[in-house]
Structures are given as structure tokens and as C-alpha cells.
Copies of this chain bind each other. A is one copy, B any other.
Amino acid sequence: MKCTILTVGTEILFGSITNTNAVFLSRELQTIGVDVMYHMTVGDNPHRLKEMLAYAYHDCDLVITTGGLGPTQDDLTKEMIAEYFGEKIIEFPEQLEILKTRMWNRNRPITPNNLKQARFPEHAEILNNPNGTAPGFWLQKDGKMIASLPGPPHEMEPMFLNELRPRLLAFDNKVLYYRNIRTNGIGESQLENDIMDLVDGQTDPTLATYASKFETTLRIASKRETREEAEAAVAEMLDKVKERIGKYIYSEDGEDLSFVVFKMLKERGLTLSAAESCTGGLFAKTMTDISGSSAVFDRSLVTYMERAKMAELGVKKETLDKYTAVSEKTAQEMAEGLREASQSDVCISVTGYAGPGGGTEEDPVGTFYIGLWFEGRCKAFRFQTRRASRERTREYACVQMFKLIYDVLMGRNEFFAESL
């Protein structure tokens, strides 16, 4: 089955919001073997929406729309789909009742606009929306399939999973299986070069490299009659890949580095704390994105002002005066002070110039120091990014913090190179 994801909404074309719906749907569709051929976005314009539908079907049999199902005047997706398929729009009495009850429960008045949300193309099947006022719908006609979902992700996502996915699975024949092999420390070009002969002339499994933030992911995918066959084909290829680039691989299951670190800490019963300056809570936020992180993550002391570094971490005033807050010495004292305060098994600190202001000649914007306390040792390391934005520098610092912990837990870091 070949699919176009058609996003409707001028706010996307204005850049006011990011099209995360296309990301979610693409991932989910891939796992059930639906090939996503195109993403298309069109504004709240009836003519162009209909035209794009026609284009989408020229080599796809399924179109999934998101957005434009709301109560406002420029929400026209339903009307245009009906026109394209030559369907009348009629009121669905059951949907009107659901809508009335919902508004009643929320103590909100029903505006004339709202009533629109109980009307659908005559042959549509309703896709229920327990999380909002806009139900979606499914329509199959003239050999074409369409599913129309609401725009807000917290309404769209459960609707896809609970209402649409089961319908699509009924059409499926082959099974797709894939693994995302995540690497750190090797560029995309180098990685592809190293496995070039495995990629060439290979139709199944397929190999594809993706450069994402500061690292490269390799996806190995196979589509076979059964899941067992697909899994075996992927496993065989993975073995070959590991012979070439094994040392760069930190996850064979698409896990984030932070999650891999979390699992390692949990397995070993270790606790982790952080002392953050330039990352400003991003490390803690990344760690606590993980459900269950409270099993290993103790605390992060985000000490943004110098007085906070001194009071919370015991960084010495002389150190700040002599070496500044962005220095190897400060990073080290932050990690040591954090250990003192938290007694956590792994204590990591970071201080740097995220920019755009600040920086010195020796340590320009983009420079940061990471301190690490582990098993009685404490060391600090210097890092530098070039021409990076504030956001990118902070993200890079965060990745390097996880990388350092990962390497230390693997016992293969220069951390252990010499005694203190």
C-alpha cells in the first residue's frame, strides 16, 4: 500500500507550527508496512487542496490528511474531500449527540461553528475522537482510500492507533522489520564508505544511513512473508555491519544514548546527579524524559549564577575569580561539590559559553568543560564547538555528557588513563 500524508493548514506554511504529525504517521505507517511516498502540505485553500488530492492519488492508493477538521470557517478538509469524491455532506445524528454531551459536560456553549463537526461525507465511517470535538473519518471509493484525522497531535495520535491502524492492518500482506543501529563518533560519509559493498546491489535487506544531531544512524530493513524471515535477514546483515563498524555502535535498537546510559546505570544499581551551568537543565530534562528515571537519577543542581555555584556546590570564590566560571578547575569543583552534596555514584558537571554573548580569547563561545566524579576520581575535560548556535552548543554539551558517562561505564575512557 502506497500512501501520501497530506497536511492541511496555513499555519504550517507560515512556519507557525512544526509538522510533527507527519513524523508520527510516517513512523507508525512504516512499522505496519505502508510505504509513505510523499508528505504534502497545503494551506486552508479549497482549490489547491482538491488539486493536491488528485496529484497524491496518481501513484498512491491511500491518502491520510491531518488538520482542517476544526469548527472554524477555514477548516475545509471535509468539504473538499467530499467534493473530490462526489459525496454529499450530511449530518450524522449520533455524532451530534456525542458533541452536545461533550460540550454540556465541559459547560461550554455550542456555537453554530461547532455543529459543522457532526457533518460528514455520506459514505464515511466515523473515526472516534475521545480527546476532542472533531471526529475523523474513513472513506473508500473508486479504488481510492482516504482517512481524515484532526490536527492536534493529542487527538490525532490515539485516533490513528485505535481507529485507523486496525483498518490498515487488514490490508497488509508482507511484514516489514527493521532495526535502527545508532552510532557515535563516525561521520555519515565515512560510515557509508566502510559498508559500501554491503549497500551495493542489495535489495533486501536494505541499508540506509541518516545523519542526525551529532551522530549517524544506520537502518537495516527487510520486508518478507513472515516476521521471522525478516528478522533473520536483518540479524544476518547486522552481524556483517558489526564486523566493520562495531566499535561505534551504542545501540542496536534505536535507543537514545541517554536511554542506554540510563539502562546501564539501572543494571548496575548506580545513581546519577548533575551540576549544570550552560546546559541550564537540559541534561536533567533529557534524563527525566525517560519514564522510570527516578530509579537512577537523583538530582541536578542548575547553578546559573555564580552565587548558586558557590552556595550549592561549594565552588570556591578564588577559583571563580582566578579561573572564571568557565574553566577546568570550576568544572572539577562543581563535580566534587555535587558528589559532596548528593553522594551519587556518578556526578557530572558542565560549565561553558553557550553564546551568543560571553567567551574569551582562549575559550570562545562554544567552549565548555565537563567534570566527572566516579569511583573516587574526578577529572574535567575541555570541548569546543565551532560557529554553533546557543541551542546547538547546549545540545552538543549534553550529548558529550552522556557520551562521557557511557565511555566511563564501558571502562574505555581516558578518564582511567592516569591516576589523580
**Nearest CB on B from A304, distance (A):** 5
Within 8 A of B (CB), among A264-298: 271, 273, 276, 279-285, 287-289, 291-294, 297-298
Q: Which residues of B contact A273 (CB under 8 A)?
A: 308
Interface string of A294-331 (1 = CB under 8 A from B): 10011111111101100110000000000000000000
Contact B387 A131 (CB under 8 A): yes
If the complex has contacts A26-B14, A308-B342, are A291 and B355 also in contact, measured as CB distance less than 8 A? yes
Within 8 A of B (CB), among A130-181: 130-131, 151-152, 154, 180
* A71 located at the interface, meaning its Cβ lies under 8 Å from any Cβ of chain B in the complex: yes
Q: Which residues of B contact A301 (CB under 8 A)?
A: 299, 301-302, 312
Q: Which residues of B contact A17 (CB under 8 A)?
A: 23, 210, 212
Tell me which of B12, B189, B209, B387 contacts A111 (CB under 8 A): B189
Interface size class of A (residues with CB under 8 A): 35 or more
Interface of chain A: mostly helix, strand, loop or mixed:
mixed
Please name the residue on chain B nearest to A300 by beta carbon: B302
Q: CA separation between A282 and B285, bound complex, in Å?
A: 5
Tell me which of B48, B312, B391 contacts A299 (CB under 8 A): B312
Q: CA separation between A19 and B108, bound complex, in Å?
A: 36
Contact B189 A292 (CB under 8 A): no
The stretch among A35-43, A88-96, A231-239 that forms the contact with chain B is: A35-43
Contact A280 B287 (CB under 8 A): yes
Within 8 A of B (CB), among A210-230: 210-212, 217, 219
Contact A39 B36 (CB under 8 A): no
Please name the residue on chain B nearest to A41 by beta carbon: B39
**Nearest CB on B from A342, distance (A):** 7
* A360 located at the interface, meaning its Cβ lies under 8 Å from any Cβ of chain B in the complex: no
* A198 located at the interface, meaning its Cβ lies under 8 Å from any Cβ of chain B in the complex: no
Q: Which residues of B contact A151 (CB under 8 A)?
A: 211
If the complex has contacts A297-B305, A357-B292, are A389 and B22 also in contact, measured as CB distance less than 8 A? no
Contact A304 B299 (CB under 8 A): yes
Please name the residue on chain B nearest to A211 by beta carbon: B152
**Nearest CB on B from A245, distance (A):** 15
Within 8 A of B (CB), among A347-392: 354-357, 387-392
Q: Which residues of B contact A13 (CB under 8 A)?
A: 26, 36-39
If the complex has contacts A285-B280, A287-B280, are A26 and B15 also in contact, measured as CB distance less than 8 A? yes
Q: CA separation between A15 and B288, bound complex, in Å?
A: 23
**Nearest CB on B from A72, distance (A):** 5
**Nearest CB on B from A387, distance (A):** 6
Q: Give the one of A199, A299, A389 with max B CB within 10 A.
A: A299
Tell me which of B15, B193, B302 contacts A30 (CB under 8 A): B15
* A408 located at the interface, meaning its Cβ lies under 8 Å from any Cβ of chain B in the complex: no
Within 8 A of B (CB), among A82-128: 108, 111, 113-114
Closest 3 CB pairs of A and B: A280-B288, A281-B284, A15-B26
